[in-house]
Structure 1
């Protein structure tokens, strides 16, 4: 598919944003003009014909794999819990390698069983990065806005720096930053070469009044960039990251129950409009139109 302008290739869609079997999701992404896709582990291991068939489908799609998600509640555990999570991590890293994914996304722990000691958490991230090195996989550590200890990206960045591994970097998610009201200026603290993934999403209300509402919104009511009430903030995020020197991938991670009940081509087309808005207007420094209706209509 020919793209007006260029820059759409900087953006991809997460399979979690789409309904249906893996092959249908890959086809919808490709038909909408995307060249890359972020893979959710459930879409891969849940394939009706098994993991090998899922790998073949991804390879045959021609889509580049942005990354693979998500390893949860990994850092800060001890004893049998630590050993269990190491086994989970090894399995996910092996799938990363099989799928051609160069990035494994890891979310900050929410477990009350995990240590809050930064040295212990950094030690675990260092071990994970060492496991990933032989497979040529990078580890992107993301701060969940309801994480027990690490719940904003500046904290995640501090832990990444403390762990100090060449293949360990940070993953950013605009939803968590907006929900936690993390200042956009804090992006300037980051080394662009250590930003391994940027996930973008918006939502439909200005204020999130509780942790419970934050989790519910994150898991059920996200929308594509430009469809919610934070279009100006999304645009500023992308502009600031570009000015910082970030030239990596952006992925649309949109958990939305309504989109799960809509035809795949319709949802993928909405994602394409977001990519065109960001790639052709925002990154080319045109003035974006917050909540542009062109993103909501054909």
Structure 2
């Protein structure tokens, strides 16, 4: 299955959903920027999805989560509960969670594990899966090895990992790393291209992650992304892939232009999706 993150398109949610449905893409991913504070916003998204026959495949909305030993801990858990209720309203079955990115004396690694376990347990009644996304600039979960170790420790069938091609390639990870992760633990593969000149430093990597990710084929790494997808397929992965791109160049481009380029990438790896 291939889905597309809604924040790629710079139009109203109505236009995004309608254009994707017309193009035959019936799976969409949401980020924190797609959620309003008003309950009516959630009801509106749910109505749009139903009207257009679109499934909301994942939500990357829970950031800087886990490990706090002070008053922020209860805030984190309340936020998690609210997101789970929201996803249930949207019939979305995958919540992406990202770790703390700033080292603090108030964050404890054992508490991170406890909070992730609690999150997985909270999600079970809603039939929602939790996908942990490692961030290279996180002092706590900065590598796939660290994320995979936490996944084993959480030890819950609804808790798994996100593989991000941008992180994988910008960190020059050996593809053998994937062989250490059971495909049953991989819940989502996010596909992004980029220009290699943008990731010489950690600061560049963070900037690219937040603002300069490209549709596969618009940067230098489409063939490497296809190779990674092929490797996962050979390992037995048959799960969810997502296009995640947020470069400012897309603000001036029409939705049909962007969908055409996504179609080109889909054709390049059709045998493995």
Structure 1-normalised TM-score? 0.86
Q: Match of 1:41?
A: 32
Q: Kindly indicate whether the alpha-carbon contact (under 8 Å) linking 2:135 and 2:141 is maintained by their aligned counterparts in 1.
A: yes
Task: Say whether 1:262 aligns with 2:253.
Answer: yes
Three-state SS of the structure 1 residue aligned to 2:71 is: helix
Q: Which residue of 2 aligns with 1:30?
A: 21
Structure 1 distance, partners of 2:158, 2:105, is 23
SS in 2 for 1:52: helix
2:150 aligned with 1:151: no
Deviation at 1:177, TM superposition (A): 1.2
Distance in 2 of aligned mates of 1:77 and 1:270: 42
What's the CA shift string for 1:208-237, capped at 9, x where partnerless? Answer: 111111111112221111221112320111
Alignment equivalent of 1:162, drawn from 142, 148, 153: 153
In structure 1, list runs of 5 or more residues that go unmatched.
1-9, 285-298
Contact map agreement 2:42 2:90 (CA 8 A) in 1? no
Q: What corresponds to 2:228 in structure 1?
A: 237
- CA offsets 1:147-168 (integer angstroms, 9 cap, x no match): 1221222211111111111211
Specify whether residues 207 and 97 from structure 1 end up closer, same or farther in structure 2 by C-alpha distance, changes over 3 A only.
same
CA–CA distance in structure 1, aligned partners of residues 168 and 123 of structure 2: 27
| Residues paired across the two proteins, number | 273
* 1:108 aligns with one of 99, 102, 110: 99
Per-residue CA shift, 1:163-215, capped at 9, x if unaligned?
Answer: 11121111111111112222111011111112111100010225611111111
Q: Is the CA contact (8 Å cut-off) linking 1:206 and 1:230 kept in structure 2?
A: no
Q: Is the 8 A contact 2:198 2:208 kept in 1?
A: no
CA contact (8 A) 2:69 2:108 kept: no
Give the drift of 1:139. 0.1
Change in 2 beyond 3 A, CA 1:100/1:187:
same
SS class of match (1:258): helix
- Please state if 1:178 is matched with 2:169: yes
- Structure 2 length as normaliser, TM-score? 0.93
Q: CA RMSD in A?
A: 2.0
Please state how far the C-alpha of 1:41 moved relative to its aligned partner: 3.4
* Alpha-carbon shift at residue 100 of structure 1 (Å): 0.9
Kindly state the Cα deviation for residue 254 of structure 1 after the two structures are TM-superposed: 0.6
Secondary structure (helix, strand or coil) at the match of 1:37 reads: strand
Match of 2:265 in 1: 274
Superposition deviation, residue 48 in structure 1 = 11
For 1:100 and 1:175, how far apart are their aligned partners in 2?
28
4+ residue runs over 6 A deviation = none
Q: Larger relative CO (CA 8 A, sep 6+): 1 or 2?
A: 1
Contact 1:122 1:160 in 2 (8 A): no
